Amino acid sequence: MISPLKRPFGVLAALLMMTVSARAPAQSYYEQVYRPWQPIHWHLEAGYSPTLGQTSQYFDGGFTLGGGLTWQPQPGPFALRADLEYSHFDATRNLIAINEVANQIEIDHGYGEVFGLNVDGELRSRLSPLTTAFFLAGVGVNHRRIALTQTVAFGGYYCDPYFGYCDYGLVPGDVVVASADTTRFSWNAGAGLDFALRNGESFFIEARYMRLETSQPTEFVPITVGVRF
């Protein structure tokens, strides 16, 4: 015969066992349907990139497009990530005015472009069955191009001050009158949130600080959203 004192403990133990047995199938369900482990995930992303520091004096914020893959050799918090990215920024009036004086030419517009390959280590931390925080940092090689342009009307006469080429009847549009290209080492660090979709896919949002080691550092912060698949 079970004593009245032991009966509540027996009921509590039974409830705990039922809770554990219920959580195990639920966790298994999430792992199998939402987060089946895969060693490689591809991703695509896009977003807005504000500029920082001296870079903001010469370029307005612009857009970023990118894609790449994440390699996780075994289940766990660590992964290796590679990204190919393109960022575009419009030149500020300050940069245009400086170059008009220095080159003695008329400049109407300008832009900066950054093409890069970046490799990062990624640390992931599960916040809930469907949400994961991640932190990343790494290095890369980026090519920066700055181009200043002049708007030419149809039938106008245009001379390239660098190549000495002159012609009539150009199609209306912008022509590059000055440019500069440089390839430099870069580094970056950032963080984001990953939201699980079905079959191992996920939606993510992240922000990264990017710095190119140009003569005056090129600094910007891509804030992007993307999909892993």
Query: What DSSP string runs through 134-155?
Result: EEEEEEEEEEEEEEEEEEE-TT
The model's pTM is 0.78
Q: Which domain holds residue 132?
A: 36-228
Clarify whether residues 30 and 40 are in a common domain. Answer: no
Q: Is the pLDDT of residue 162 over 80?
A: no
Q: What is the CATH number of the domain that holds 144?
A: 2.40.160.20
Q: What's the pLDDT at 174?
A: 75
Domain count for the chain: 2
Q: Is the pLDDT of residue 157 over 80?
A: no
Q: Is the pLDDT of residue 6 over 60?
A: no
Q: How far is Cα 77 from Cα 133, in angstroms, rounded to an integer?
A: 10
Clarify whether residues 111 and 166 are in a common domain. Answer: yes
Q: Is the pLDDT of residue 171 over 70?
A: no
Which residue has tokens 């920082």?
A: 52
Residue 180's pLDDT band, with cuts at 50, 70 and 90, is very high
Clarify whether residues 61 and 153 are in a common domain. Answer: yes
Q: Is the pLDDT of residue 169 over 50?
A: no
Residue 101's pLDDT band, with cuts at 50, 70 and 90, is confident
Q: Which two tokens stand for residue 217?
A: 């550092």
- Average the pLDDT over 155-177 and give the result: 57
Q: What are phi and psi of 130, to 5 degrees?
A: -115, 0
Tens digit of each residue's pLDDT (9 = 90 or more) over 71-85: 999 888 999 999 999
Q: Is the pLDDT of residue 33 over 70?
A: no
**Sequence-ordered strand ranges (E) for 160-201:** 166-168, 173-196
Clarify whether residues 9 and 61 are in a common domain. Answer: no
- Average the pLDDT over 20-48 and give the result: 69
Clarify whether residues 41 and 10 are in a common domain. Answer: no
Clarify whether residues 46 and 153 are in a common domain. Answer: yes
- Average the pLDDT over 193-199 and give the result: 91
Q: Which two tokens stand for residue 214?
A: 């140009």
- By DSSP bridging, strand 202-212 and strand 223-228 are antiparallel
Clarify whether residues 15 and 126 are in a common domain. Answer: no
Clarify whether residues 14 and 52 are in a common domain. Answer: no
Q: Which two tokens stand for residue 39?
A: 């060693």
Clarify whether residues 50 and 15 are in a common domain. Answer: no
- Average the pLDDT over 172-177 and give the result: 75
Residue 23's pLDDT band, with cuts at 50, 70 and 90, is very low
Q: Is the pLDDT of residue 219 over 50?
A: yes
Clarify whether residues 60 and 127 are in a common domain. Answer: yes
Q: Is the pLDDT of residue 15 over 60?
A: no
Clarify whether residues 152 and 210 are in a common domain. Answer: yes
